[in-house]
Amino acid sequence: MPFSYTKLLRKGALKGVLGGHRGWQVGLFILVVGQLLRKAVKKGSGVVTHSQKIPIGEGIEVRHLRNAEENFSEDE
């Protein structure tokens, strides 16, 4: 039987968190911490979503707007 991480995670959540079974709570904790560690220690760079060459001496400003209304009010 192949290992199914999602199925084990779901079962741990149902029996551990909702059912209150201490063993499943510990197992769920170990699975979640293991998943976070795998993501934190993963080798290689992330996916590049945008790339642009910037001339020497120039810079860019990155801003995040909450919604389109803020963007519209700043353009006026």
Q: Where are the alpha helices (DSSP H) in 1-76?
A: 5-12, 22-41, 68-75
What is the b/e burial string over 6-35, where b = at least 16 CB atoms within 10 angstroms of the residue's CB? eeeeeebbebbeeeeeeebbebbeeeeeee
Q: Which pTM value belongs to this model?
A: 0.47
pLDDT digits (tens, 9 = 90+) for 15-58: 888 888 888 888 888 888 988 898 888 877 777 788 888 899 99
> Which of the two residues, 59 and 69, has the higher pLDDT score?
59
d(CA 62, CA 41): 27
Residue with tokens 């968190």: 17
With 80 as the cut, is the pLDDT of residue 75 above it? no
- What is the reported pLDDT for 72? 57
